[in-house]
Structure 1
Amino acid sequence: MRFIPTRRRPRSRPLRAARSVAVAACAGVAAALAVAAVPASADASGHGRHRTGTVYHLDCRSGNDASPGTSPGTAWRTLDRVNRQALRPGDSVLLRRGTRCDGVLQPQGSGTAAAPITLAAYGRGARPAIAGGGARAAVFLHNVQGYEIRHLDISNTPAAPDGKARGGIYVLLEDYGTGRHYVVQDVKVHDVPGCDCLQPELDNAGGVLFKAAGSEKPTGFDGIDVSRTTVATVDNIGIGTLSQWSRREPLYPAGTNSFVPITRVHVHGNRLSDIGGDGILVQNGLNPLTERNVVDGFGVRGTQAHAGILSFNSTGATFQFNEVKNGALNPPAFAYNFDAANSGSTYQYNYSHDNGAFMAFCAVPGSTSDGAVIRYNISQNDKGMKFGTFDVPVVATGCAAPQKNIRFYDNVVYSEVAPALVGGLMNTPISYSNNTFVGRAEGSTVADPNSTFDHNLYSNVGALPPDGHAVNADPRFTRPGGGVLGYRLKCGSPAIGAGAVIPNNGGRDFFGFRVPADTPPNIGAYQGPCAKG
């Protein structure tokens, strides 16, 4: 998402151009992350509930490829032996705990949602490791479907840095049609160096990556669930979907092929750290849900700007209960991004802190975006950034193509360090209502001539924007700067009951309190009882 306010971007790199521009610490939200739901297809042991096929065992320390592999005592020895086996629905390949397998796991055959093929672990000890050694991917699912992957340790480090695209888990469908049912749960993916190469038409790098490719048979995914997985020290994308089947009117006429949506995408309860580019990216999603993830450090090896969590060319995306922190400052990195070719996106109950910026709005030539709601989020000490001579604000618009129908309400934007809290340059009018903006002691700016402001509270802000119901006062937070619990309101706060009634307000605030539907709400992300003292 290259954040360029005036220059036209190259048409040949639309998705990369779009890149350029925590679960909260309260007990209820943290508990929700800790107990992220197990998919219905798993039993208590973590293996497929519907497993009816053959169970194969792999022991890369003491197995024998000449053995049948159907018991721990007759386990196979190498990944190559697994790759030669034609797997059938309901089959399982279990790797012995405490062992390491070098090479690529590329299983053959497909399962179904009712009888998936399971890749998992057996025995006691540390999770079994697959070390790709710099291959295209350590676990490579190519033109297959119906897989569940659990309890593995996956890395893919070459002998020397080479800048090539590679993945940890890479699911690639080429001219395949619709691939169904992919579960990645409780997997550790780490140390996957590659390139900052995001274009769908090129090779891509990432920790857990799903890609729909080809040009002859419309191809996509139905049913992707990634949960309770850690992704650390990988380049390009931590967890993501990409598609070459992207052209649609009016949102993305610059795309390729016809449009094929990626349906039933759920990315939840994951922890990502030290990500070279984007943390979590969903492209071509239809009603994807990204929730209860933590992204700690993203864009850290980026050659262009990135985001912690975002969608591209998606409809009805929801992002909620996520925490994003410690994004790169140069190139600019944004915790969340309403990116190009999206419609009907909702960002709610998220926590952003210590990033370059909280939220970006960016579409590029050949695309547009229509309809976003940003509500009940908390941005704490996001810094703002420099892009050349331009001060990138905490909430930023500035790309060259228009976006419309954006509502930004009941959020807290608090920064003791950012010179600019809100800034807009062109094409993207936003309706700001019921937000709390608190700047640095010497003053910060809230300036967006294209947008409207109403019933917002401003503290340590210089010249106020036109706001017929502005509250210019200390909001009286309980402990600002001290995490999400610090943004409750003390009794006597001027924010209490000072907001505007907003239709279809979501019904609950950041902390789980009910938002009144018929009486003026509080300004900001907190609607609970005032705190004494």
Structure 2
Amino acid sequence: MVKKSLMICLIGLMSIAAKAETYYVDSSAGNDQLSGQSETQAWKSLQKVNSVKFMPGDRVLFKRGGIWRGQLVPKGNGTIEKLLIFSAYGKGALPVIAADGKFQDAVLLKNISNLLFEFFDISNTDTLVQEQNTGPVGVRILSEDIGTISNIRLSGLYIHDINGDNKKGSKEGNGIFWDCRGPKPSNIENLIIENCRLLRVDRNGIRGNGTFAFRNNWFPNKNLVIRGCTLEDIGGDGIVIKAFDGALVELNKLFYTRTRAKDNAVGIWPHSSDHTIIQYNEVAYTKNVNWANDGQSFDIDGNCNHTIIQNNYSHDNEGGFMLVISDAIDEKSRMTTNNIIRNNLSVNDGNNRRRLFNFALVTDHTRVSGNIFYNQSAEPFKMELIDIEHGIPKDIVFEDNLFLYSGGVIGMFTKSAEQYRAITWKNNVFKGNIKGKSNLLQVTETKSNSVSNKNLNEYPWMFLKSLNLKK
């Protein structure tokens, strides 16, 4: 009987220990001396929250309308069945976490797995300086000397006003940043970033680092989804897929990136990543005011393999539509290869840099098919349609694309026969103000207009309705 009673007590204690709790945090009426386990017993400060190690299934809720100045560093983990949740309660504006430049990261999610983090207003502005030189971040996901952290979801965040340096390097700021450090190889698996808004971030909107992205030290992150986010007025790069094997970037809107950076920056691009899919995004008004190399809507960058860019709407990006490039090829970095660029709509791209495509250094096996490249700009100037520089790419095929230049812009093919030898042309349509086709090699052309084959109720072809583009 004694053993049976003891067993019943132990089971009861385990049940109590496993019970998930809900904690409330109220910046105006809270008190850190209270239990935090009801709205009337709410905690007050970030310091109190940071001091507690939370358990699977716990919910930590911040009162809407509240303002917390400082840094949030959650502790604890969830499980796949019982996530650790940080969210909001009440009515009104999102709860504010403002680091004010006093911390590198407004929110630091370090070595945490099975976490849902949602519905916060996050900023990191030092009003005393024009640019912080500390690499300020809104939300950092950090896997450090741990192996693998997994199953992290960021949702419904408003991240804004981060005044980092706009030069590439350690001082640049980021809205959302994933970070992996050693010495033990460490990575992130199953990261979802959804329905977030980023505004006025210098330098980068959403990106990460590449500590284990070199091919001789390859321990990539796995399974990234960036979906339904809006990025506006980003000083440099918009979304950079760094050191991931298996990323999906879809249904995002990026307006006015590279607004302040003077070095290379693009709307959406992978680097040191494999099996990336970028689809159903709208990228517009990427800047290129200084004739720099970038400013495109998309880029397939160095050390990448099996990238697909499809069904996107790209318009009014000053640097062009697409960059395809390799880094230096060595034991650390493989040639960029197996690229697919299909079924995209490009409108008025490249008008300032005056080129549409840029192939740089030596890349291999790029398929460009089913796209419409349309320019109706009235200003008269010449635009290089396919720019090839710093090396000859291998095995490029353009098939079933429509190039239509109907305004004052003249689309040009002016490269050498040696450069164009890498490109095979199959069943493309060239209409309007296009010159230099005689310079191309291996060309087959069709008279049929590929617009008639598009379903104008599908993305991105639905935008053709407003262009008065004749079938």
Shorter chain as denominator, the TM-score bin is 0.7 to 0.9
Match among 104, 108, 118 for residue 85 of structure 2: 118
Aligned AA for 2:404? V
The aligned residue for residue 445 of structure 2 is: 470
- Over 3 Å counting, the alpha-carbon distance change for 1:442 and 1:270 in structure 2 is closer
The aligned residue for residue 327 of structure 1 is: 286
Match among 123, 141, 154 for residue 171 of structure 1: 141
The aligned residue for residue 61 of structure 1 is: 28
**Residue 431, structure 1, aligned to residue 394, structure 2:** no
Tell me, in whole angstroms, the C-alpha distance in 2 between the residues paired with 1:223 and 1:183: 8
**Residue 295, structure 1, aligned to residue 254, structure 2:** yes
- 1:512 Cα deviation from its structure 2 partner: 4.4
Aligned AA for 1:294? K
Q: Which residues of 2 match residues 434-513 of structure 1 at below 5 A?
A: 434-439=400-405, 440-441=407-408, 443-447=410-414, 449=420, 450-459=422-431, 460-464=433-437, 465-471=440-446, 475=449, 488-489=451-452, 512=458
Q: Does the 8 Å CA contact 1:455/1:467 hold for their aligned counterparts?
A: no
**Residue 396, structure 1, aligned to residue 358, structure 2:** yes
Q: Does the 8 Å CA contact 1:407/1:431 hold for their aligned counterparts?
A: yes
- 1:110 Cα deviation from its structure 2 partner: 2.0
- 1:218 Cα deviation from its structure 2 partner: 0.7
Match among 248, 251, 261 for residue 220 of structure 2: 261
**Runs (5+) with no aligned partner, structure 1:** 1-50, 476-486, 490-495, 497-507, 514-524
Q: For residues 268-288 of structure 1, what are the alpha-carbon distances to aligned partners after superposition, in whole Å with 9 as ceiling and x for unaligned?
A: 011110111111111121121
- 1:180 Cα deviation from its structure 2 partner: 0.7
Q: For residues 177-199 of structure 1, what are the alpha-carbon distances to aligned partners after superposition, in whole Å with 9 as ceiling and x for unaligned?
A: 10111101111111111123555
The aligned residue for residue 481 of structure 1 is: none
Q: Which residues of 2 match residues 10-89 of structure 1 at below 5 A?
A: 53-89=20-56
Tell me, in whole angstroms, the C-alpha distance in 1 between the residues paired with 2:70 and 2:159: 15
Match among 192, 206, 209 for residue 177 of structure 2: 209
Task: Choose between structure 1 and 2 for higher RCO, CA contacts under 8 A separated by at least 6 residues.
Answer: 1
Normalising by structure 2, we get a TM-score of: 0.84
DSSP 3-state at the match of 2:50: helix
**Residue 285, structure 1, aligned to residue 250, structure 2:** no
DSSP 3-state at the match of 1:311: strand
Q: Does the 8 Å CA contact 1:175/1:219 hold for their aligned counterparts?
A: yes
Match among 117, 120, 141 for residue 149 of structure 1: 117
Aligned AA for 2:435? G
Aligned AA for 2:321? F
Tell me, in whole angstroms, the C-alpha distance in 1 between the residues paired with 2:55 and 2:255: 39
The aligned residue for residue 153 of structure 2 is: 183
Q: For residues 216-250 of structure 1, what are the alpha-carbon distances to aligned partners after superposition, in whole Å with 9 as ceiling and x for unaligned?
A: 211101110011110111122211232201121xx
- Over 3 Å counting, the alpha-carbon distance change for 1:238 and 1:52 in structure 2 is farther
Tell me, in whole angstroms, the C-alpha distance in 2 between the residues paired with 1:404 and 1:424: 13
The aligned residue for residue 493 of structure 1 is: none
| Matched residue count | 421
Tell me, in whole angstroms, the C-alpha distance in 2 between the residues paired with 1:276 and 1:97: 29
* Structure with greater Cα Rg: 2
DSSP 3-state at the match of 1:455: strand
The aligned residue for residue 420 of structure 1 is: 384
Tell me, in whole angstroms, the C-alpha distance in 2 between the residues paired with 1:230 and 1:191: 12
Q: For residues 316-364 of structure 1, what are the alpha-carbon distances to aligned partners after superposition, in whole Å with 9 as ceiling and x for unaligned?
A: 1101100000101134311000110111111110010000211101112
Tell me, in whole angstroms, the C-alpha distance in 2 between the residues paired with 1:461 and 1:451: 18
Greater fraction of residues in helix:
2
Q: For residues 345-385 of structure 1, what are the alpha-carbon distances to aligned partners after superposition, in whole Å with 9 as ceiling and x for unaligned?
A: 11110010000211101112143211011000010001344
Q: Does the 8 Å CA contact 1:456/1:467 hold for their aligned counterparts?
A: no
Q: Which residues of 2 match residues 85-124 of structure 1 at below 5 A?
A: 85-124=52-91
Tell me, in whole angstroms, the C-alpha distance in 2 between the residues paired with 1:243 and 1:71: 42
Q: Does the 8 Å CA contact 1:197/1:205 hold for their aligned counterparts?
A: no
Sequence identity (%): 26
Aligned AA for 2:271? F
Aligned AA for 2:444? H
Aligned AA for 1:147? L
290-299 or 277-286: bigger deviation: 277-286
Q: Which runs of 4+ in 1 moved over 6 A?
A: none
Aligned AA for 1:461? I
- 1:262 Cα deviation from its structure 2 partner: 1.1
Tell me, in whole angstroms, the C-alpha distance in 2 between the residues paired with 1:315 and 1:336: 16
- 1:131 Cα deviation from its structure 2 partner: 0.8
Aligned AA for 1:68? S
Match among 303, 317, 337 for residue 341 of structure 1: 303
**Runs (5+) with no aligned partner, structure 2:** 1-17
- 1:416 Cα deviation from its structure 2 partner: 3.1
Aligned AA for 1:436? L
Match among 345, 350, 355 for residue 312 of structure 2: 350
- Over 3 Å counting, the alpha-carbon distance change for 1:452 and 1:488 in structure 2 is closer
Tell me, in whole angstroms, the C-alpha distance in 1 between the residues paired with 2:167 and 2:25: 34
Q: Does the 8 Å CA contact 2:132/2:171 hold for their aligned counterparts?
A: no
DSSP 3-state at the match of 2:274: coil
Question: RMSD of the alignment, in Å?
Answer: 2.4
